[in-house]
Structure 1
Amino acid sequence: MSDYAQKFVAQLERLNRPEQRDARALAILRRSLGFPPGSYPAAYPYVEYFIAADAHAQDAQRLALYLTAGLYALHPHQGAQTLATALGGLMRQRDSSSIERRFIALLSADAENVAIYLRQAISLLAADDVSLDYAVLLQDLCTWLNPRADADRLDTVRRRWARDFYRALTVETDVPAPVSNTENA
């Protein structure tokens, strides 16, 4: 995980510290989700200083930073598990196939509508207070939102998310694997 992503998430976490919670900043970042990433001027003071000076308005990293900031403000609970692992665990808890349908729709999303599906996913996690690793999400969004990224890189992210989701559905047990009934010839 990049140090850059970690620093950005640490900055977001500072906005949510109990002793100095900045409710106004979090509200502004949440409100920014109603606009295309990076186009809500009130959010600029909280994100823009992390953006490279030569980045253009549609730079993938810039868009990913704004989207991640808004999603964090929607559910400010940084954790160690990926979004996909958190959703898979939630599906296992709730035993709800609608979560899987939403997850598959998220995996099918393109750069133009991924924010909509992510807001829905984060809202599901927020309802059960399930945390996720926003630094990993930020890095994945940098790939997802990059129109110049080759299809293989995006497919790698999607496959990793699918693997994390479905692995979280399996419940680990101490039952040994079945023994084969075939005889040695």
Structure 2
Amino acid sequence: MTDTIDETAATPPEPGTAEREYLDKQVGDFVRRRVTELQKNRNEPGARGSRAVALLARLRRAADTEPGADASIWDATFKGAPEAPTSGSILEPTKAEWAIHIALTTYAVHQQSGTDNMHEAGARFATAVRRLEQGRATGDGDRSPVRRRFDALVTSSTLQELAVHLRGIVKQMRSESIAFDYGLLAQELYRFQVPRSIDRVRRDWARDYYASLSRSTDKADGSTDTTKEN
């Protein structure tokens, strides 16, 4: 660490679209590697398994902290992490650091005491929310507590507010062993911090949620395409 900070570089410009998408992919890949390694190691016998379980516990305890505040998880959240410019002061955590921190600490909450793996490659977050929400509506036109929590998450004004709702949802998913891809979630958390990308993230969540709703409705109705070519 240096003793001086170049204040002239305190507010770098927002990255362009191509650079932003490259950075959020790096963030997603980093989180996916970390979570995959934790899932593999936590069930291993001996020291390796013990270290993974202990790290998951430390990550859970750090869920309410800022990136970098807990030195006991630095190896998981900072070591080898991609670098990304920040829209604020360089004294504040970067977008990449926030996305990685929230994704990894939320995974630790999701995985707590579970025997099934809570990271599933390719499974979309909003699709997992729909799986959790199915059958929980309180009446015709009413929204279930799960859907109300999801709506609150989607309309969050800050990433920290989003993280609180996210942890509430994954605690419910944990009880039903519903998993999703934490690398994809990390990418969405990164984009959520970029003003020009927030609506894209919300739109993706809406599409994933209602696409799964349409599929489940078709199965329940038994409606399949029986059209045949003559």
Task: Name the TM tier (shorter chain).
Answer: 0.7 to 0.9
- Give the SS at the match of 1:49: coil
**Distance change >3 Å, CA 68–CA 175, structure 1 → 2:** same
Partner of 1:162: 206
Q: How many residues align?
A: 173
Of residues 71, 91, 98, the one that matches 2:106 is: 71
Counterparts of 1:133 and 1:2 in 2: how far apart (Å)? Answer: 13
Matches within 5 A, 1:27-176: 27-52=57-82, 56=90, 57-76=92-111, 77-79=118-120, 80-95=122-137, 97-109=144-156, 110-144=158-192, 146=193, 149-151=194-196, 153-170=197-214, 171=216, 172-173=218-219, 174-175=222-223
TM-score, scaled relative to structure 1: 0.82
Q: CA deviation at 1:47?
A: 1.2
**Distance change >3 Å, CA 73–CA 5, structure 1 → 2:** same
CA RMSD between the two structures: 2.3
Unaligned runs of 5+ in 2: 1-23, 112-117, 139-143, 226-230
TM-score, scaled relative to structure 2: 0.67
CA contact (8 A) 1:38 1:63 kept: no
Q: CA deviation at 1:136?
A: 0.6
- Higher Rg of the two aligned structures: 2
Counterparts of 2:97 and 2:184 in 1: how far apart (Å)? Answer: 15
- Give the SS at the match of 1:33: coil
Unaligned runs of 5+ in 1: 178-185
Poorly superposed stretches of 4+, deviation over 6 Å: none
